[in-house]
Structure 1
Amino acid sequence: MQKIWEKMQKNRIYLVFVCIVAVLFLAICAVKIYQHVTRETVMIDGQKYYKKDVTTVLFMGIDNRGEIESEIGVPGYNGQADMLALLIVDNREHSVNIVTIPRETIVDVDVYGRNGEFQATRDMQLCLQYAYGTDSKSGCELTIKAVEGLFEGIPIDEYIAISMGAIDEVVEAFGGVTVTMTEDHWIPGYEYQAGDTVKLEGEEAYEFIHFRDTTENGTNLDRMSRQKDFINGLIAQIKASPIKSMTIMEGLYSDLQPYMTTSIEKADVWGWIWRGIWIDADEITLERISGEDIHVDEYDQYLVDLEEMHKLVLENFYTLH
């Protein structure tokens, strides 16, 4: 079993495609307006807070070049959740915050044996929790539990997991993605300067969103900066042509089925997408959880700043008014 995990760690493949799908499914929460007779309150740090009316969706990018199911059905063969982002929609304010979570974030991971028996809970990289599932659904459910623990018990309402096999289809469907660089970036064969506007297509787009220099420590954070620029470019492109984007997404939904698993009912998807397209771009924000990137025994670890994490939870899920 140890060899399986070592092989998985040595063959890291990184993925941001989940954020593309996050944009496509922004409206998941736009129509989920919950009606409360009275607003629920909680006491936090001696202060009375009201719970915000929010909906959460966890997006996972799985490092599997083919379809999302391994068909083997045992832990260790399902890939890792190499990209994670929590979509938080404030239903009252009609705002969206996408919180990205580094794959190396150290959390409580439930470890399972080859036969699916629970063995122990250990401090490990978050990306590994998905791998302990027997299929995509169980991998997602295990990852949700770990992320809920990271977010101080805040429940996650829905999930979407996408394998890497879908990247090329999505970029091609949109005819490439025009990206404005917020800082200098580098990938093999290409250099970008802050302020450059570039249309990314084909292999260049693929490398831009997943490449990480494995010869250096902490380069996943560099990759996440490129991913943020890519996501902003895609959002702007969709907002500029909402009708055209809806048509593109209608075709993509069927094409992506072999590469995707989700808790979202098919009957709900199109109404959600249509409403989500019209969310004001100024109400969509991106941030990364705060922490420190360190290197231990040849592997990167991301240690979350618990004080800043507590602030993030308060700001996104509670209000004093």
Structure 2
Amino acid sequence: MTKQTRSERNHKSKNKTAGKIVLRIVLFFMLVLTAGGGYVAWQVWSDLQSTTDDMYEGAEDRQEHTARKAKPVDVDQGEDPFTVLIMGIDNEGDSVEYGRSDTMMLVTVNPNTEKTSILSIPRDTYTEIVGRGTKDKINHAHAFGKASMAMDSVQNLLDVPVDYYVSVNMDSMQQMVDAVGGITVTPPLSFTQDEYQFTEGEPTHLEGEKALAYIRMRKKDPEGDYGRQFRQRQIIEGAMKSLASVDSIMNYRSILGTLGDSMKTNMSFSEMQDLFTNYRGAAKDIEQYQLAGSGTMMDGVYYEVIPDEEIARIQSQLKTELEL
């Protein structure tokens, strides 16, 4: 075995020292990044909980659907299909506690099939307003009895459980679209609204103000309110996909700031966590439906009357999606 010279030993010693220094530097930066990530995670968690506390508004005195009596929905494991009633409230200012729900969509989410559906309910639908014992336009239910009465009336009409609700002021829709970085839609027809031009079949990126113009137009649409409801579903679908993306996490403060001011829901903070963690896959496949009827006048008031066979068709479809 050959003996090492002093210079060789010193060289190896220096290499070991340099190696330790590099290792310590790497470990130091890993520690900084980990600590920083922990702080960011804590900050996100704190902001989320604060905002969701502001948004929370329970739906009291509900009429429980028979399916939920047998098996209450549990989103903790990410296995149960569930429903959310989305309502756009027509009133002044940011408040969504009172007012008519001029936009009503029932969203069903099934994690087992990884599919989401969005059903539009015409605002003039003539049906029983549960809790008042009368028939009226379904969008009046929220004005009469807030979210609980609206949920019970939709539940009664479609014979499926309505588990959650989300109500938002429609004028704040543009801030929400801006918060997720805008969305892209393909207009089903060409039209101009509020100086914005939309071209049939041409993918169009919408910022908030333009998105609001896109869903406000109704009189120029040959499909009338049904055409408007289709465009509303496009906006909701685009927003859902954006919120489910990783990119939205980077802009969470803006999103939370908008939602906190203009949204109410009966989802708790922990339930929102479960939905975001366990159900994001279902946002990849979104299907749209329309509850359709015919307009008629009753005592000088316009109503949308939905045929029994149309209601039965939609009920069957929803029950299949909800595994009922």
TM-score by length of 1: 0.67
Matches of 1:33 and 1:271, distance apart in 2: 7
Distance in 2 (CA, whole Å) between partners of 1:302 and 1:69 is 24
Q: CA deviation at 1:314?
A: 1.7
Shift in Å at residue 217 of structure 1? Answer: 10
Alignment-derived partner of residue 23 in structure 1: none
Pair 1:224-2:251 in alignment? no
- Matched-pair identity in %: 23
Check the 8 A contact 2:88/2:170 in 1, yes or no.
Answer: yes
Q: Which residue of 1 aligns with 2:287?
A: 285
**Partner-residue secondary structure (3-state), 1:169:** helix
Measured in 2, the distance between the counterparts of 1:298 and 1:204 equals 35
Question: Contact 2:78–2:278 at 8 Å: present in 1 too?
Answer: no
Residues of 1 paired with 2:223 and 2:203: CA distance?
A: 26
Decide whether the 8 Å contact of 2:76 with 2:271 is kept in 1.
Answer: no
2:128 is paired with a residue of what secondary structure? Answer: strand
* Displacement after TM superposition at 1:198 (Å): 1.7
Partner of 1:246: 249
Q: Indicate the SS of the match to 2:118.
A: strand
Q: Which residue of 2 aligns with 1:62?
A: 89
Q: Hey, what does 2:201 align to over in structure 1?
A: 195
- Aligned residue in 1 for 2:165: 159
State the 1:222 CA deviation: 2.4
For 1:314, the aligned partner's letter is S
User: 1:272 maps to what in 2?
Assistant: 275
1:204 to 204, 210, 215: 210
SS at match of 2:282: coil
Instruction: Give the strand-richer structure, 1 or 2.
Output: 1
1:174 aligns with 2:180: yes
Q: Which has the higher helix share?
A: 2
> Which of the numbers 110, 125, 130 marks the counterpart of 2:137?
125
Q: Is the 8 A contact 1:217 1:295 kept in 2?
A: no
CA distance in 2, matches of 1:132, 1:122: 11
Q: Pick closer, same or farther for the CA change 1:278–1:69 going to 2, 3 Å.
A: closer
The alpha-carbon deviation at position 315 of structure 1 amounts to: 2.4
Counterpart-to-counterpart distance in 2, 1:184 and 1:166: 25
Q: 1:183 aligns with which of 176, 185, 189?
A: 189
CA contact 1:106–1:124 (8 Å) conserved in 2:
yes
Q: How far apart are residue 121 of structure 1 and its match?
A: 2.5
> d(CA) in 2 for partners of 1:30 and 1:284?
19
Structure with bigger gyration radius: 2
Could you say what the CA RMSD is over the residues aligned between the two structures, in angstroms? 3.2
SS in 2 for 1:278: helix
| 1:98 alignment partner, SS class | strand
Q: 1:312 aligns with which of 308, 311, 314?
A: 314
Q: What is the total number of aligned residue pairs between the two structures? A: 251
Please report the TM-score for the alignment, with normalisation by the length of structure 2: 0.67
